[in-house]
Amino acid sequence: MLSHISFLLDGRIVTIDPSSSSGVSPTTTLLTYLRNLPNHKGVKEGCAEGDCGACTVVLGELCSDGKMHYMAIDSCLVLLPMVHGKQVITVENLKDSDGTLHPVQQALIDAYGSQCGFCTPGITMTLFALYKSEIAPTQTEIEDAFVGNLCRCTGYRPIVSAAISATSLPNREDHFSRNEAATIALLQRIPKESLYFNTIQQTYHRPILLQEALDIRRQSPSVLVVNGGTDVALRITKKHELLEEILDVSAVRELKEVVSSHESLILGAGLSLNEVRLLVKEDYPALEEMLDVFGSKQIRNLGTLGGNLGSASPIGDTLPVLMAYGARVRVQNVDGSREILIDEFITGYRRTACRPDELIVAIILPRPVRSTSVRSFKVSKRRDLDISTVSGGFAVRLDDHNRVARCTLAFGGLADRTKRAHSVERQLQGKEWSRSVVEAAAELVKNDFAPITDARAGADFRLVAARNLILKFWMSTQ
């Protein structure tokens, strides 16, 4: 077990001991650390909550295939222990040793995509990750990559043009690919072990094995579990909370496993939302559609499916569609595991059915029945990078006479937790799947929910939106 953090920056291994008087704590964000260095001022703090992308950096990681993989992340949402064993790349690292600009930098200049200097570094890093990760991205994939970067000056047209130009180059060699063997050799020198820090004010656990995590959970039931950290990080950056004890499970290997069979797809709770998005694309399109508009790519690269469930948000965009698919949640403690229907997993506002010594380890998706139609919808003030006002996950299975054999209508944003509209479901059961029947049943939404009025919408609007989404679901099945 290690008591220091090591990662690669500027071509060398950096080692930090949060337990010393270095001014760095276990919950110091990567953004704060970089901003305090003399030569990494390109990374900016804009919103400190993952909405603007000004703090975007790229993490390089040596994966099981023996190659380096790169992803853009919001450094304001990353705690320093989370980059242990990885390469941190900022905009200052892009130019070659002889001062030659990186192809993505040159492409932005040539397309007149550079801006005032506040947003451009983050945009450049997003383009760099795209340049290193995608073989031939479509324009839709390019636009999705930049969802997490707020553009204040030039508009996105020249930025997209620069991305098309850079990712169309026949040879994508750069000094990162030329130096990859040396980079891998440096990363292999960093021990891949569990981390443990115990300072005067904080205790931070970062195990790499599930059994370690379960032992810590048993010993410290009140420990704050972090799995991705895109939600918890806001407590540090926005509320300035001191988090006294943290169990960071984002490095636990067993939580990243995938098991596919004829009966189900089992997704480890530690898989990132972007990894889940790619895994469910073929067989669970409604979940993929919801993840398409879940935050930004930078956030999806960090956030995990288990973390999203564990936060028990009353919006919880993934929860309604998981209910529609009849998902189950596998939780585990040192004595064994059990499975909970997703409908029963959220028990109240920010509360789950997890016992104090249990961890979410996997989400089980039954294989969809061909005769079942599943859809997901999101109502928000903008399409991308916005919290839902109302979200819905719906499923219906019809018999040979166009009657409802089974239906699920789940909503987020209408109560203190994600819930199903049971009154509407009961009204539809066995009835003809027609517009008039659906419209009449949708009126019963008011019997299932009593939404509040807040900054996003009024209670009446939420009920109208819910009724309209049910009708929209019916129309999508015709």
Assign 3-state DSSP to the chain and report helix, strand, coil percentages, each to 5: 35, 25, 40
pLDDT, residue 117, reads: 83
Which residues are 391's β-sheet partners?
A: 378, 412
Q: What CA–CA distance (Å, rounded) separates 307 from 250?
A: 9
Contacts of 477 (CB under 8 A, 6+ apart): 373, 375, 396, 433
296: alpha, beta or left? (left if phi > 0; alpha if psi -120 to 50): beta
Q: Which residue's entry shows tokens 């276990």?
A: 26
CA distances from 163 to 135, 252, 256, 267 (A): 12, 35, 31, 32
Alpha-carbon span 123 to 121, nearest angstrom:
5
Residues in a beta bridge with 304 = 272
What six digits make up the tokens of 347? 């028990």
Looking at residue 21, what is its pLDDT? 64
What are the start-end ranges of the H helices in 348-444? 422-428, 435-442
Per DSSP, helices labelled H in 25-174 are 30-35, 103-110, 120-133, 139-145, 156-167
- State the Cα–Cα distance between residues 460 and 472, nearest whole angstrom: 18
CATH of domain 103-173: 1.10.150.120
- Of the CA atoms within 13 Å of residue 395, those in its CB half-sphere come to 23
* pLDDT (0 to 100) of residue 154: 75
**Does the fold of domain 253-476 match that of domain 5-92+180-248?**
no
Tokens of residue 31, six digits: 């953004």
Amino acid at 279: L
Rounded alpha-carbon distances, angstroms, from residue 89 to 59, 131, 215: 6, 14, 35
Rounded CA-CA distance 443/445 in Å is: 5
> Which string of b and e fits 369-388 if b means at least 16 CB within 10 Å?
eeebbbbbbbbbeeeebeeb
pTM here is 0.94
User: pLDDT of the chain along its 478 residues, tens only?
Assistant: 999 999 999 999 999 999 876 789 999 999 999 999 999 999 999 999 999 999 999 999 999 889 999 999 999 999 999 999 999 999 999 999 999 999 999 999 999 998 788 899 999 999 999 999 878 899 999 999 999 999 877 789 999 999 999 999 888 899 999 999 999 999 999 999 999 999 999 999 999 999 999 999 999 999 999 999 999 999 999 999 999 999 999 999 999 999 999 999 999 999 999 999 999 999 999 999 999 999 999 999 999 999 999 999 998 789 999 999 999 999 999 999 999 999 999 999 999 999 999 999 999 999 998 889 999 999 999 888 899 999 999 999 999 999 999 999 999 999 999 999 999 999 999 999 999 999 999 999 999 999 999 888 999 999 999 999 999 999 999 9
pLDDT value, residue 135: 80
| Cβ atoms of residues 118 and 69 within 8 Å | no
Cβ contacts of 21 within 8 Å, gap of 6 or more: none
Q: Long-range pairs for 129-132 at CB < 8 Å and ≥24 separation?
A: 129/58, 129/70, 129/71, 129/72, 130/72, 130/163, 130/166, 130/167, 131/103, 131/104, 131/166, 131/167, 131/172, 132/58, 132/70, 132/172, 132/176
User: The tokens of 255 are what?
Assistant: 């939580």
Q: Identify the sign of the CA torsion 130, 303, 378, 235.
A: negative
What CATH architecture is 5-92+180-248?
A: Roll (3.10)
Distances (CA, A) of 475 to 10, 12, 116, 431: 55, 58, 46, 16
CA atoms within 13 A on the CB side of 412: 28
Domain boundaries, the chain: 5-92+180-248, 103-173, 253-476
Q: Return the CATH number of 253-476, one of 3.30.390.50, 3.30.930.10, 3.40.190.10, 3.20.190.10.
A: 3.30.390.50
Sequence-separated (6 or more) residues with CB below 8 Å from residue 108: 114, 120, 123, 124, 127, 158, 159, 162
Find out whether 404 and 434 touch, Cβ atoms under 8 Å.
no
Cα angle value 292/293/298 (rounded, 5°): 80
User: How many whole angstroms separate alpha carbon 275 and alpha carbon 363?
Assistant: 14
